[in-house]
Structure 1
Amino acid sequence: MPYCLNPSCQKPNNPEGGRFCMNCGKNLPLKGLYEAIALIGQGGMGRAFQAKDLGRLGHPCAIKQFLPQFQEAELMKKAIALFESEAAQLKALGSHPQIPELIAYFEEDGCLYLVQELIDGENLYIELQHNGIFSESQIYELLVNILPVLQFIHDRQVIHRDIKPDNIIRRSLTSPELVQDEGKNNCQSPIPNSPQNNFVLVDFGAAKAFTTDTANRTGTLIGSAEYIAPEQARGKAVPQSDLYSLGVTCIYLLTGISPFDLYDDESDRWIWQANLQTSISSHLARILDHLLERAISNRYRSANEVLHDLQSLAINADINAGSLGVSYIPLGNSPQIEELIEALDLGQWQEGDRLTNEIILALVNKNRIAQLTPNDIEQISCDIWIAIDQAWMKSSNNRFGWSTQQQIWRNLGGRLIYEENNYWEFAKVYEKFADRVGWRKPRWLNLEFSPKIWRKYENLTFAIAAPQGHLPSLFFWEGFNLIDPVFYRLAVCRQK
């Protein structure tokens, strides 16, 4: 039902189809285009409404109405500037799937309005209240999703200045934008079943532009006190200030404790790790501590640098089953699986590779890997996929196996669903993947830019000293287009 936006209206709800409020007579659709239908939030600066964009066939949108509760002229001036800043920054940033789209900004009947994309979902503060503290994998998921957005805005000379759980929304799984994105990309994130665009950064009212020569003079104190960096508290925000706030957000989500209580003033240090309810890996703790450095020079220089650490540590550090999402379970009594386990435990890597291919082909009654289809992959039970993967991971101490290969594949930008119209993009990532796991070699040794050639199968390294992810080589020659369906199947199976 249309909702009247007159702040003084005593009966704002109106029957469907009306153009004027039955109580106060105000025009219901703003500019004749944007019709509020429900109040979804209000505070000292104004109100927010769920709405319909009548110019886009009733497409959902959000309306922000500026209604500051200030009497002082100076405070009112600053509040207006912040409201206008949000529109300016959203307009300057342009289109990004993880930033609300600015639809319109205008004044009507003495009120300022901002119309933007409606994000269907809960912010992380509410999610924490409903579901409890976050796990390590959830924090990793958040970082790999939100860091590219920060890099995007920083590249455009914008500092958000108010990164906190309330301003990060996880899209609902039924969100049209998320469903559409899953259909196209089907989960590019390093975390199983976490689409790349399922976190949205909102509330750019505190955002401010910066330039190289004014990066240390970005204005007065703005932001939420619990999350702001020391330099921002002095009115000198820089891009790394957003990274600090993201680190504080992460330790709050991991502990559920106010950031004020996670810092010990007496010893002048963070004590968040002492307040964890469950342990996390040392490499994630190191990354968070680096984000939380009080001195800017000791902090990460960019969001991309944090992402690089996340990716390199996930591959090269001591990868354990928990960080890969693998939980070891008792294997079945299949004779073929037992034979595979025995071969791998004895370090017979080439025999294990042959048996892996043999088991998969026998299950779908095919003679060659090239004959396999994504549908065949789907028909093989999860128990088999998990059992084979576990056998490789356990025998190689996580050096070989599909989980390790999947981590590498995703970190290189590989998608989990192969699409023919993206063949060349897929092939490019596949070549990088083959180089990383050692399936290709330089044509001329010791030349950095030498073209790469594929190794013959018999020239693979069937030894524990082989590059990480070198084995199994099920997709090596004939089944390269199966690499993403298998990884996707494995991700689905882990969620069951």
Structure 2
Amino acid sequence: MPYCLNPSCQKPNNPEGGRFCMNCGKNLQLKGLYEAISLIGQGGMGRAFQAKDLGRLGQPCAIKQFLPQFQESELMKKAIALFESEAAQLKALGSHPQIPELIAYFGEDGCLYLVQELIEGENLYIELQRNGIFIEAQIYELLANILPVLQFIHDRQVIHRDIKPDNIIRCSLTAPELVQEAGKANYQSPITNSPQVNFVLVDFGAAKAFTTDTANRTGTLIGSAEYIAPEQARGKAFPQSDLYSLGVTCIYLLTGISPFDLYDDESDRWIWREKLQTPISNHLAVILNRLLERAISNRYSSANEVMHDLQSVTISSDNNSNSLEVSCINLHNSPQIKKLIESLNLGQWQESDLLTNTIILELANKNRIAELTSNDIDQISCDIWVAIDQAWMQASNNRFGWSIQKQIWKSLSGRLIYEENNYWEFAKIYEKFADRVGWRKPRWLNLEFSPKIWRKYENLTFSISAPRGHLPSLFFWEGFNLVDTVLYRLEICRQSQDNS
């Protein structure tokens, strides 16, 4: 239903099809093209609405209405400048799948409006409150997604100046839609080498164009106090200031504690590692600490430099660390296993799923999982099975992996050895198993007894937020009859390892 944008309107909701507000008479269509549907947020600077673009066949969009609560003329001038800056920066940045597209910017009836692409999803602050603190793999996933965006805007002489959890949205588009959106911009992440996108950077109201002169000139303090870099607090901003704020964002997500309480003024140092509930790898800690350096010269010089360090994942043999470790196999002689661990450690879940299949197929000398036999499974070294399983388990904090799937399988009364004469019992357990790990969904949503249908592989959830046991998936997706064989092989291998 159309929503009236008159701030004084007492009954803004209107019936479908109306052109003018039935309460106050205001035109419900901005420029005759944009129609608000519902209020989605408001603050001291204005309001945001879910809307539709009538010029694009009703395509969803968002409307920002400038409505500051200031009386002082100087504050009003600065507020207007920030609002206009957001439009200018979005226009200058052009099209990027992880930045909201600017559709229009104009004034009407004494108000300023900005119309942009509607980003559906929730920001990381809300996600933290709902799901709890992030684990290491989620931070790798975040960095791998957001760093290319920062490099993109910095290359175009723009500093965001307000990087924080509230301004990073986990996009709720399905995987095929994300690929399609990324394809529009002909953009690929330097880390993943694929157009898969999970996070969107929003709120460019504080963004600023920089040059050698303007970056060093003292100016207005802009940004959120908990997250801004020391130099930004003094009115100066550099591309490295965004990297600092990203580092602070990460330690907040890892601890759930205000950044103010993660820095000890008495000793003049960060104490975030001491506040962790679960230890993280030294590899990630070193990256975060360098992002958090107070001196710009000690910080990373660019987002690309951070991405380079992310890609050089080290495999630690330190038993006291939480880094990915596979002690049972010589990684030097198994580059595919090392590649899998690096991919998992970066939170590249779909790539890791595909790579898991590739490793097994190459060892069995087969082209498809469906061609594998129980004899092929038995001929592959126990070291391989345990190494792959251990990598998945450690990267996901025991959410994914064959061992987790085995626990779920057995909890459903599934056996590890089935014969042809009890196939139907196996098939029944397999369907329950698929429902439990999220590979199937109700045909009709919200109906308890709705028949289940299989999700398409590309529509599975390749994220740490997926149901427990959701990944790896493709192996059992193509070779469902191998579930008991693989799980039994893993159990034998684990027992053999324990007895040695």
TM-score with structure 2 length normalisation?
Answer: 0.67
Superposed displacement of residue 377, structure 1: 3.3
Q: Does 1:492 align with 2:496?
A: no
Superposed displacement of residue 159, structure 1: 0.4
Superposed displacement of residue 218, structure 1: 6.1
Superposed displacement of residue 178, structure 1: 2.1
Is the Cα contact below 8 Å between 1:52 and 1:61 reproduced in 2? yes
Secondary structure of residue in 2 paired with 1:74: helix
Matching residue of 1:180: 180
Superposed displacement of residue 327, structure 1: 9.7
Is the Cα contact below 8 Å between 1:218 and 1:238 reproduced in 2? no
Secondary structure of residue in 1 paired with 2:30: coil
Is the Cα contact below 8 Å between 1:248 and 1:292 reproduced in 2? yes
Matches within 5 A, 1:333-348: none
Deviations along 1:28-49, one digit per CA (max 9) or x if unpaired, are: 0100000000000000000000
Q: Does 1:114 align with 2:114?
A: yes
Deviations along 1:135-182, one digit per CA (max 9) or x if unpaired, are: 000000000100000000000000000000000000014488426358
Superposed displacement of residue 196, structure 1: 3.3
Deviations along 1:409-459, one digit per CA (max 9) or x if unpaired, are: xxxxxxxxxxxxxxxxxxxxxxxxxxxxxxxxxxxxxxxxxxxxxxxxxxx
CA distance change for structure 1 residues 52 and 491 in 2, over 3 Å: closer, same or farther? same
Q: Residue 310 of structure 1 aligns to which amino acid in structure 2?
A: L
Matching residue of 2:451: none
Q: Residue 208 of structure 2 aligns to which amino acid in structure 1?
A: K
Matching residue of 2:33: 33
Matching residue of 1:440: none
CA distance change for structure 1 residues 3 and 234 in 2, over 3 Å: closer, same or farther? same
2: distance between equivalents of 1:220 and 1:158? 16
Is the Cα contact below 8 Å between 1:141 and 1:191 reproduced in 2? no
Match of 2:384 among 379, 392, 414: 392
Q: Does 1:295 align with 2:276?
A: no
Is the Cα contact below 8 Å between 2:179 and 2:197 reproduced in 1? no
Match of 1:377 among 369, 377, 382: 369
1: distance between equivalents of 2:377 and 2:187? 20
Matches within 5 A, 1:148-187: 148-174=148-174, 177-178=177-178, 180-181=180-181
Deviations along 1:247-280, one digit per CA (max 9) or x if unpaired, are: 0000000000000000000000000000000010
2: distance between equivalents of 1:221 and 1:120? 30
Is the Cα contact below 8 Å between 1:107 and 1:113 reproduced in 2? yes
1: distance between equivalents of 2:288 and 2:195? 23
Deviations along 1:464-489, one digit per CA (max 9) or x if unpaired, are: xxxxxxxxxxxxxxxxxxxxxxx9x9
Matching residue of 1:102: 102
Is the Cα contact below 8 Å between 2:37 and 2:49 reproduced in 1? yes
Matches within 5 A, 1:458-469: none
Percent of pairs identical after alignment?
76
Matching residue of 1:86: 86
CA distance change for structure 1 residues 190 and 377 in 2, over 3 Å: closer, same or farther? farther
Q: Does 1:57 align with 2:57?
A: yes
Superposed displacement of residue 216, structure 1: 1.3
CA distance change for structure 1 residues 495 and 99 in 2, over 3 Å: closer, same or farther? farther
Matches within 5 A, 1:414-453: none
CA distance change for structure 1 residues 223 and 381 in 2, over 3 Å: closer, same or farther? farther
Q: Residue 391 of structure 1 aligns to which amino acid in structure 2?
A: D
Q: Does 1:236 align with 2:228?
A: no
Deviations along 1:59-85, one digit per CA (max 9) or x if unpaired, are: 000000000000000000000000000
Superposed displacement of residue 215, structure 1: 1.8
Superposed displacement of residue 189, structure 1: 8.6
Is the Cα contact below 8 Å between 1:382 and 1:493 reproduced in 2? no
1: distance between equivalents of 2:333 and 2:197? 42
**Number of matched pairs:** 376
Matching residue of 1:249: 249
2: distance between equivalents of 1:222 and 1:358? 50
1: distance between equivalents of 2:375 and 2:474? 8
Superposed displacement of residue 491, structure 1: 4.8
Gaps of 5+ in 2: 335-356, 394-461, 463-469, 478-500
Is the Cα contact below 8 Å between 2:5 and 2:36 reproduced in 1? yes
2: distance between equivalents of 1:118 and 1:383? 52
CA distance change for structure 1 residues 490 and 7 in 2, over 3 Å: closer, same or farther? closer
2: distance between equivalents of 1:101 and 1:30? 18
1: distance between equivalents of 2:150 and 2:378? 36
Matching residue of 1:208: 208
1: distance between equivalents of 2:333 and 2:237? 57
2: distance between equivalents of 1:183 and 1:380? 35
1: distance between equivalents of 2:375 and 2:287? 35
Superposed displacement of residue 198, structure 1: 1.1
CA distance change for structure 1 residues 402 and 226 in 2, over 3 Å: closer, same or farther? closer
1: distance between equivalents of 2:283 and 2:374? 30
Q: Residue 15 of structure 1 aligns to which amino acid in structure 2?
A: P
Q: Does 1:264 align with 2:256?
A: no
Secondary structure of residue in 2 paired with 1:38: strand
Secondary structure of residue in 2 paired with 1:107: strand
CA distance change for structure 1 residues 212 and 380 in 2, over 3 Å: closer, same or farther? farther
TM-score with structure 1 length normalisation?
Answer: 0.67
2: distance between equivalents of 1:402 and 1:175? 21
Secondary structure of residue in 1 paired with 2:473: helix
1: distance between equivalents of 2:374 and 2:128? 31
Is the Cα contact below 8 Å between 1:262 and 1:271 reproduced in 2? yes
Q: Residue 75 of structure 2 aligns to which amino acid in structure 1?
A: L
Matching residue of 2:304: 304
1: distance between equivalents of 2:142 and 2:106? 34
Superposed displacement of residue 212, structure 1: 1.9
Matching residue of 2:137: 137
Gaps of 5+ in 1: 329-340, 350-355, 404-486
Q: Residue 125 of structure 1 aligns to which amino acid in structure 2?
A: Y
Which stretch of the first structure deviates more once superposed, 160-169 or 196-205?
196-205
Q: Residue 384 of structure 2 aligns to which amino acid in structure 1?
A: W
Secondary structure of residue in 1 paired with 2:51: strand
Q: Residue 21 of structure 1 aligns to which amino acid in structure 2?
A: C
Matching residue of 2:280: 280
Secondary structure of residue in 2 paired with 1:64: strand
2: distance between equivalents of 1:383 and 1:182? 42
CA distance change for structure 1 residues 163 and 362 in 2, over 3 Å: closer, same or farther? closer
Is the Cα contact below 8 Å between 2:178 and 2:196 reproduced in 1? no
1: distance between equivalents of 2:212 and 2:308? 24
Matching residue of 1:9: 9
2: distance between equivalents of 1:22 and 1:357? 62
Secondary structure of residue in 2 paired with 1:231: helix
